[in-house]
Copies of this chain bind each other. A is one copy, B any other.
Amino acid sequence: MAGKNLPRSPLAPKTFPKLPDIAGVTLHAVETGSRYKGRRDLLLARLAPQTSIAGVFTRSTMPSAAVDLCRQNLRASRGRAGAILVNAGIANAFTGAAGAKAAQTVCQFVADAQSIAPDRVYMASTGVIGQDLDPAPLTRGITSALSGRASSWRHAAEAICTTDTFAKAASRTARLAGQTVTINMIAKGSGMIAPDMATMLAFGFTDAALPPRVLQALLTDAANQSFNAVTVDGDMSTSDTVLLCATGQKPMQGSALRSADDPRLAAFRKALVAVMQDVAIQVASDGEGAQKLMTIDVTGDADDAAARRIGLAIGNSPLVKTAVAGEDANWGRIVMAVGKSGEHADRDRLSIRIGGHQVARKGRAVAGYDERPVAKHMRGRQVHIAVDVGIGKGKSRVWACDLTHGYISINADYRS
């Protein structure tokens, strides 16, 4: 975890990106001393009145107290938000009624301090499962946050980290009905990363004016092309949360938006997918122990969803991941992973490329296969695998990382 001073991932971006201000969003990142010492571990994001919010959450049947609370508040407030609170260190998952009460206590404190309805306060918690969350250090942290100055995007992104070796963020702009709007997103995640949801917390903010229902549809769709297409270890967290807020500080010109399919949203939709893919790839790049980023393209499948499942079967396979770690062009393991995915496939039509080099075509190795250019590609930091299933037009792109000794070292003594 961050406290261990793990070396920065070799796949990390060189620098933290520049994120412009978003009107209607004020960030406060503070230290509570709850579990980590000497670092910011609490983020409070204050949002302009009438901010819209949408959420996508873990599909775990063991959701954390914060996930329960977010789901309830999304319904109760009909997609409105006044604040988001994030604590790092304690997941407040599998903590029973006491856990639910602790989350409520902290959110009520935020609501009272800001004079907003409690169902407009959202919470996310990340860290160890099964330990009780003590509200006291958090409420002290909130008081300190509210009396202090606003924090930078970088400090906000750092405050939500746990085992992450670098803070993750991205930003894009888009034209929307005569305005230029901005989308910023910060995220954390490096282990317990699997799709539905990729285990992560991510918080997006835009100054666009979007009704909650439209915002939710845009978020769900973009999540399928980003967070739900990234995997580190196939383990799905109890706490995965992606929230997207639209402060509405740049009001639309023209008639109101009623549907996510409104053609005026085309550029915004594209920018949102780009922001979310950017941070999702950063999460894969910070996979625990990761030394190589895998980009997996699956084409020719029955449909896009089936293609994504095959891509994830490849990206999750320990044998594929260790082959990538070992820079071994052992493409037979890719065949194995396609075969185990359970998706319909025709062995005798399957083709595989690695780094653009055809290694297998229509059910067997290509004639005169020369492994040297493939082996050279695999010695790089970025490994590209392309599989054509040969049965349809569905396609998907998935990101994953290799499986190394570093993953074992980090996870065999994570908690102690």
Contacts of A350 in B (CB 8 A): 62, 94
Could you give, for residues 326-354 of chain A, a 1 whenever the CB lies within 8 Å of some chain B CB and a 0 otherwise?
A: 10101111011111111111011010000
Given the known A-B contacts A235-B317, A318-B233, are A96 and B363 also in contact in the complex, defined by CB atoms under 8 Å? yes
Residue of B nearest to A335 (CB): B94
Distance in Å: Cβ of A202 to nearest Cβ of chain B: 19
Contacts of A330 in B (CB 8 A): 128, 414-415
Majority DSSP secondary structure for residues of A touching B: loop
Could you give, for residues 307-325 of chain A, a 1 whenever the CB lies within 8 Å of some chain B CB and a 0 otherwise?
A: 0000000001111001101
Distance in Å: Cβ of A46 to nearest Cβ of chain B: 31
Contact B405 A408 (CB under 8 A): yes
Contact B323 A235 (CB under 8 A): no
**How far apart sit A236 and B407, CA to CA, in the bound complex (Å)?**
22
This chain: copies in complex: 2
**How far apart sit A369 and B342, CA to CA, in the bound complex (Å)?**
41
- What are some 12 contacts across the A-B interface (CB < 8 A)? A59-B340, A60-B336, A61-B343, A62-B335, A93-B335, A94-B350, A94-B365, A96-B363, A131-B365, A235-B337, A319-B411, A403-B408
A residues sitting closer than 8 Å to B (CB atoms) are: 58-63, 91, 93-96, 98-99, 128-132, 191-192, 194, 233-238, 316-319, 322-323, 325-326, 328, 330-333, 335-345, 347-348, 350, 360, 362-365, 403-405, 407-409, 411-416
